[in-house]
Amino acid sequence: MFKYLRHIPLILRSFFRKPDQSQEMVRFICTFCAAQEDIPKSVVDHMDETDQRGDLSYPPRFGCSVCPDGYMQPINYTSPSGKTYKTDPKSIKPVGIVSF
């Protein structure tokens, strides 16, 4: 049992480690409530490459963590294939109060 105690500092260090500030982020905005969230570009690239639809006319999308009806799309993102997706945040009008 005591032989595992030496791993506790490593576990605590990894648990309390600050996120990597050098990692490039992509800002997403919800098309329903206009909430914004930063997602690491590596995650967005991976999700874009593994997209089963394969349709380049749609940007990578994620479900909104704030409202149940919205989906988030990138404000400015260039995919690994070279396609650029842009969403104007001013064009998104929040629907109003979201009820759960």
Give the whole-angstrom CA distance, residue 56 versus residue 72: 17
Average pLDDT value for the chain? 77
**Cβ atoms 68, 30 nearer than 8 A:** no
The single residue listed with the structure tokens 């109060």 is: 97
Residues near 82 by Cβ (< 8 Å), separated by ≥ 6?
none
Q: What is the mean pLDDT of residues 38-66?
A: 82
Distance between CA atoms of 32 and 38, rounded to whole angstroms?
17
What digits encode the pLDDT tens for the residues 19-36? Answer: 555 689 999 999 888 889
CA dist 70 and 62 (Å) reads: 9
* Strands 71-74 and 76-78, bridge-based pairing: unpaired
